Amino acid sequence: ATTCRFSVFNDIHMQVEEYRALAAQVDSAATDFLFLNGDIVSAGNYVADTLIRYALEPLGNLPAGRPVLFARGNHEGRGNNPQLVADVFPNSDPAPFYYTFRHGPVAFIVLDAGETGRSRSILYNGEAVYEEYLAAQIQWARKATQDPLFCDAPMKICMIHVPMLDHPDQSDYLLQRWLHVNFTPLLEEAGIDLMISADLHEFIYCTPGTMKTPFPLLVNDDVRRLDCQYEPGQITLTTFNAAGQIEFSTVLEVMSQKVCP
């Protein structure tokens, strides 16, 4: 393929009617895959029926014949049985919630920031130790971005629920800044062209350098859909509200392409 077309949903938090309205607008014939960028579900007890009812059923017939990919949000790591999320979105990579994939000319690295709370690991009594989890993910990402499947792609996109912002709060507990300090250098080295995030329940578009990142960073609003269409040399980014109205649109030129050594 010479193009790549996909739609992104995030921070739905079980608001089924809005989710269904956003999905109903998608042109299935012009969409290669759907991406759920975290916090689609907010449940105290994760069972397969809950996940399917709130994450997949509102998409209607869209999943028929096209992939649905997933990045875990902080809410999908909370409550009872959060490991069951991996049963609905299975993945054979080293960990179920971070991985790479390629669609035509675009390579994707999907990351999992984990819990956003100040006492991230203390809350989980050893069931989830996010400091170690993120450290292992950094080591994995260094190797994964050297794979020819990834590094030879004309465009490279990072998908992560929590944005990597150079936040004015300099506390190490603020996950946005921690991610920025610890992940951004390796993503820059990998030649990332765009980061798509969520979590903040507001729309932000940071041009290169705004957050001390060499690539643009788009934070999609809650209950909004982001449509992305890559054609050789550029990607068009457009957001829609539940009424089908365009709220933002821009064309990002992909000028430089870092390839494998």
pLDDT digit string (tens) for 70-118?
Answer: 999 888 877 777 777 777 787 776 677 899 999 999 999 999 988 766 5
| Contact (CB, 8 A) for 110 and 102 | no
**Closest CA relative to residue 154, chosen from 261, 237, 232:** 232
pLDDT of residue 43: 67
Q: Quick one: tokens of 183?
A: 């992940």
Q: What is the pLDDT of residue 121?
A: 44
CA–CA separation, 184 and 189 (whole Å): 9
pTM tops 0.85: yes
The pLDDT of residue 125 is 46
Instruction: Looking at the chain, list the stretches that DSSP marks H as alpha helix, in order from N- to C-terminal side.
Output: 16-24, 48-51, 85-88, 130-144, 148-151, 175-190
What is the rounded distance in angstroms from the CA atom of residue 257 to the CA atom of residue 215?
12
Cβ atoms of residues 232 and 12 within 8 Å: no
- pLDDT at residue number 227: 98
Predicted pLDDT at 118? 58
At 86 the pLDDT is 79
Let me know how long the chain is: 261
What are the backbone angles phi and psi of residue 69, rounded to the nearest 5°? Answer: -110, 165
**Averaged pLDDT for residues 236-248:** 96
**Residue 247 three-state SS:** strand
